[in-house]
Structure 1
Amino acid sequence: MTENFWKDKYPVGVAAEIDPDQYPNIQAVLKQSCQRFADKPAFSNLGKTLTYGELYELSGAFAAYLQQHTDLQPGDRIAVQLPNVLQYPVVVFGAMRAGFIVVNTNPLYTAREMEHQFNDSGAKALICLANMAHLAEEVLPKTGVRHVVVTEVGDMLPPLKRLLVNSVVKYVKKMVPAYNLPQAVKFTEALAKGRGKAPQDANPASGDVAVLQYTGGTTGVAKGAMLTHRNLIANMLQCKELMGANLDEGRETVVAPLPLYHIYAFTFHCMAMMLNGCHNVLITNPRDLPGMIRDLEKYRFTGFVGLNTLFVALCSNEDFRRLDFSQLKLTLSGGMALQLATAERWKEVTGCPICEGYGMTETSPVVSVNPFQNIQVGTIGIPLPSTQCKVIDDEGNDLPMGAIGELCVKGPQVMKGYWQRQEATDDILTADGWLKTGDIAVIQDDGYMRIVDRKKDMILVSGFNVYPNELEDVLATLPGVLQCAAIGVPDEKSGEAIKVFVVVKPGESLTKEQVMDHMRANVTGYKVPRSVEFRDSLPTTNVGKILRRELRDEELKKLGKK
């Protein structure tokens, strides 16, 4: 597609271009927003609200602690392993203000996954929830992490409520396994040490890395996408232009049930909504639907960011359907394909249509979205301003309009590359800046795009990427496994569910329970297979490569979908 093709595809009032150099770095955006919206609510969680002014003060205190009470240097990586709690924005923005690179880390990671990410990123510090500290105790001796800050769920709450919440989590719900980290500093102590002390606010260049966001790959090895200040600022401005066109600055309340450590929620809630001065309601555990709905009852929310799985679960809940949706004017979906039935049901229940978008970690993450002024369900919308898209064939040749090929993206939100992995970077980024997504798409005459297939063998479980190679590598370490394969099969709740096939070594035996126990011990919960099938052999190519697609086709035939 030529660059001019997209210019007349935007709704009236939406600019076709943004200026990614409008701000020198994220620190400048944060400072401007926190001054401009100082008295407006920024984040709420567990009944406590932080204003933008308080966010700036607290992030400054944390930055001062890191600078004055550790030997960390600007550019060092700091792993942040937190769920959606108020500590998250305080820690992330504090780390950035101190000049560090944030390494977002999934709190549900196993010890094996944590060890890889900490070592690959070269993280020298870790901020984690007490609930995961026992895993940190196991992992840290094998890493270069020297500084640890541990926080409890209720640490940002008033003293009495903090004591109550933390005690219930620890002693009643027994969600904090015992741990021994003598070097760890309590988050509350770190804030107290930094409070009242002025941090030396860093002033990184726009091309400097702000966040290392880890993503899997066809090899199954998690790689750190280097997202620069300019990348994230560009995507923030792009989202504001196309997705936030009907949002009033400083007056919106947006529900944030998706994890902030995931790039989709991070960019939208911590970046785009910050620029707009919006109020983000953090949901710590969206799987606890009754608890989430009790939280939602307290707010006249105007925006909601979710994915297909969550929309289905909520619309099936009687208490959710009774909520007041009179103010809801924007619902965004990403992370996995939005099903037509889900979109229709959500609009029926809430009165608000869903705008579906598309993105990936490597694009900071948003590439395209359906403008709320003109939604085409079943498409991923049009490219964001300053974004070009095209489709190519297997030889890399550009294809004409309406042809099906691999979707490629070019724009200021495209990552700098993979951290210390030049070969992997060269595989996905062309010399002239096009990123090959691995998704098969078609671009319609009206500029809207549809994803029709995935080139990769990646499995998408409730919006999370799961890579077969990683699962197979883990499964292969189980004694008795001769061959194995992992595929995704259609699932109404999660989009796809994981199924593994196992060939047992001659003379040995394995049970489904042994396979499941091994996987649970070594991979995050959403990567654990839903089903296991034992076989005498697996289909392979003439050089012995297992044909996952053949296995997938067999499963689709069984389901009557092929």
Structure 2
Amino acid sequence: MSANIFDVFLPQLAAPAERPLLTLGCGTQWSRKQVLEASGRLANFLVGQGLQPGDRVTVQIDKGPLGLCLYLACLRAGLVYHPLNTGYQPGELEYFLENAEPRAVICSATYESALAPLCERLGIGLRWTLNSDDSGSLAEASGGCEAEFATVARAPDELAALLYSSGTTGRPKGIMLSHGNMAASARALHAAWAFSEQDTLLHMLPVFHVHGLFVAIHCVLMSGAQMIYLPKFEAREALAWLPKATVMMGVPTFYTRLLSAGISAGHCPKVRVFISGSAPLLADTFADFEAATGHRILERYGMTETNMNTSNPLDGERRPGTVGQALPGVQVRVVGSHNRPLASGEVGDIQVAGANVFQGYWRMPEKTAEDFTRDGFFNTGDKGMLSPDGYLSIIGRAKDLIITGGLNVYPKEIELLIDEQPDVVESAVIGVPHPDFGEAVVAVVVGKADPAALKAAMAPLLAKFKQPKRYINVDELPRNTMGKVQKAALRSRYQGLFQS
């Protein structure tokens, strides 16, 4: 029996076929039948060009309905979908194409000038364009193909997608996600968040990332729900569409901007749940959003390598500052040295296991072996702790750990205290080179808080070795497209702070 994840979606796409799946910002709708047929035509075209199961298809496109159909076409044909951030520059693109070795490249016309010479140099002869308005050479070439397409059988461990890590600690690593990995996560989330055909998801996320492409879209495709499918997040547009939605997924920045735009309960009369991920949600944002709307944001925890691991409950206590309990089929543990399980409340390394966990790093068997334990758990690189009843709190990334004078400092602990101070919007704590201590603790603060006042406030709250040696005021913190603070950029910016 085939494990192709498209077969999991097919029953909901096939019936009722005329029911809308997508509503675009202009009001145009795409039915399930239209999506199914367009993906079939694309699958037939790609196979007709000689693409074989397992071939990589690199995609750098702006968000649009035919782009979603292209993703489904790759699944149907057994091809490996390789999405690229639309912000990548030529130097970055060269690495991805050389490493992934795709048979075909599809891009929006905007990005063709950067990709075309790379494809020519690397001998990638199959190349088409696809734009957000569904124009481009791919649409033209595939338009006359048959809509019927027999899904290619896939085993659970055969690849469906290849995504790359952010590369903040070196060259990005290719993350191999199989049909079985993605189906396991989709089933767990579909059940945990109770998606149904009555739902309408407000989708304003990018689709080159796990959050928008897999988490959001897979929940819709599994359940018979609909999507309001918008190209990007804009607070005013979100407020205009929210009355028609029952679910919204976003990064924390979405919610802070909605608060700034004046969101209230009147904007979300049908919404049953707001979900946040991809970056930590501040407790203040959680509280302010509840006060404004009456909704307690549901925070969850996942990563590219694992899809989703934990979630606060749909029905039950949603604890601010935590990412909830392990999803069905996922094991989560916090360990110390030699993978020794730690007691609740102790900070250690977060490890996970389950069918959702990726197959390994693309052509990096040594790195894959290094990041998995002998008993099959994946080392996430995150530091955290578990409550007695299994709620997970993320304390920080292992790579963000600061070692000053031989002592470990976890940035999250300090950030939480700084964020509570008057005139602080948010903060990021980093370690920078220090001639005496090895690393010095530095706090980069958004807001008008006086550094001297912050220093005085932290003195009674933190051991001296944890106290920042410098407070730096900035207008905003650098973030990637998913809202994550880029601490590597901050460390680079301030690396000479204590050097003579």
TM-score range, shorter-chain basis?
A: 0.7 to 0.9
Is 1:133 aligned to 2:112, yes or no? yes
Is 1:263 aligned to 2:243, yes or no? no
Is 1:122 aligned to 2:72, yes or no? no
Offset, 1:250: 1.3
Offset, 1:188: 2.4
Offset, 1:65: 1.0
- The match for 1:96 is 75
> What CA distance in whole angstroms lies between the structure 2 residues aligned with 1:403 and 1:269?
33
> What CA distance in whole angstroms lies between the structure 1 residues aligned with 2:16 and 2:310?
28
> What CA distance in whole angstroms lies between the structure 2 residues aligned with 1:360 and 1:281?
25
- The match for 2:198 is 251
- The match for 2:183 is 233
Corresponding residue pairs, total: 431
- The match for 2:451 is none
Q: Deviations over 1:461-486 (max 9, x none)?
A: xxxxxxx9xxxxxxxxxxxxxxxx9x
Say which of 280, 285, 288 aligns to 1:342: 285
- The match for 1:188 is 139
Offset, 1:307: 1.5
Q: Deviations over 1:262-313 (max 9, x none)?
A: 1122222221221111112222121x4444445x16x510000012111101
> What CA distance in whole angstroms lies between the structure 2 residues aligned with 1:40 and 1:491?
49
Say which of 276, 279, 287 aligns to 1:333: 276
- 389-398 or 116-125: bigger deviation: 389-398
Contact 1:77 1:102 in 2 (8 A): yes
> What CA distance in whole angstroms lies between the structure 2 residues aligned with 1:390 and 1:27?
32
- The match for 2:314 is 372
Q: Deviations over 1:449-505 (max 9, x none)?
A: 111222113999xxxxxxx9xxxxxxxxxxxxxxxx9x9965659xxxxxxxxxxxx
Runs (4+) of structure 1 exceeding 4 A deviation are 291-294, 320-323, 487-493, 524-531, 536-539
Offset, 1:121: 0.9
Q: Deviations over 1:53-104 (max 9, x none)?
A: 2111110011111112x12222110012123321221000111212210011
Is 1:425 aligned to 2:335, yes or no? no
Offset, 1:213: 1.4
- The match for 2:161 is 211
> What CA distance in whole angstroms lies between the structure 2 residues aligned with 1:227 and 1:190?
29
Offset, 1:261: 1.3
- The match for 1:408 is 351
> What CA distance in whole angstroms lies between the structure 2 residues aligned with 1:369 and 1:328?
18
Contact 1:80 1:92 in 2 (8 A): no
Of structures 1 and 2, the one scoring higher in RCO (CA 8 A, sep 6+) is 1
Q: Which amino acid aligns with 2:122?
A: T
- The match for 1:498 is none
Q: Which amino acid aligns with 1:241?
A: A
- The match for 1:386 is 329
Q: Is the alpha carbon distance of 1:110 and 1:90 closer, same or farther for their aligned partners in structure 2, counting shifts above 3 Å?
A: same
Say which of 70, 77, 83 aligns to 2:56: 77
Once the two structures are superposed, the pairs formed by residues 169-188 of structure 1 within 5 Å of their partners are 186-188=137-139
SS in 2 for 1:193: coil
> What CA distance in whole angstroms lies between the structure 2 residues aligned with 1:321 and 1:456?
38
Identity level (%):
25
> What CA distance in whole angstroms lies between the structure 1 residues aligned with 2:493 and 2:373?
39
Contact 1:123 1:144 in 2 (8 A): no
Q: Which amino acid aligns with 1:367?
A: N
- The match for 1:476 is none
Is 1:221 aligned to 2:201, yes or no? no
SS in 1 for 2:255: helix
SS in 1 for 2:258: helix
Q: Is the alpha carbon distance of 1:354 and 1:491 closer, same or farther for their aligned partners in structure 2, counting shifts above 3 Å?
A: farther
- The match for 1:51 is 31
Note the aligned Cα RMSD (angstroms).
3.2
- 25-34 or 54-63: bigger deviation: 25-34
SS in 1 for 2:207: coil
**TM-score w.r.t. length of structure 1:** 0.71
> What CA distance in whole angstroms lies between the structure 2 residues aligned with 1:36 and 1:409?
36
> What CA distance in whole angstroms lies between the structure 2 residues aligned with 1:41 and 1:491?
46
Q: Is the alpha carbon distance of 1:396 and 1:252 closer, same or farther for their aligned partners in structure 2, counting shifts above 3 Å?
A: same
- The match for 1:434 is 377
Is 1:274 aligned to 2:221, yes or no? yes
Q: Which amino acid aligns with 2:366?
A: E
Q: Is the alpha carbon distance of 1:532 and 1:268 closer, same or farther for their aligned partners in structure 2, counting shifts above 3 Å?
A: closer
Contact 1:264 1:366 in 2 (8 A): no
Q: Is the alpha carbon distance of 1:37 and 1:428 closer, same or farther for their aligned partners in structure 2, counting shifts above 3 Å?
A: farther
Q: Is the alpha carbon distance of 1:87 and 1:526 closer, same or farther for their aligned partners in structure 2, counting shifts above 3 Å?
A: farther
> What CA distance in whole angstroms lies between the structure 2 residues aligned with 1:239 and 1:129?
31
> What CA distance in whole angstroms lies between the structure 2 residues aligned with 1:218 and 1:289?
29
Q: Deviations over 1:347-399 (max 9, x none)?
A: 23332210101111110x11001002121111110000011111111332222
Say which of 284, 291, 295 aligns to 2:231: 284
Which structure 2 segments of 5+ residues have no match?
Answer: 402-410, 413-429, 431-438, 448-477
Is 1:64 aligned to 2:32, yes or no? no
- The match for 1:17 is none
Q: Deviations over 1:160-189 (max 9, x none)?
A: xxxxxxxxxxxxxxxxxxxxxxxxx61321
SS in 2 for 1:388: strand
SS in 2 for 1:362: coil
- The match for 2:417 is none
Contact 2:186 2:215 in 1 (8 A): yes
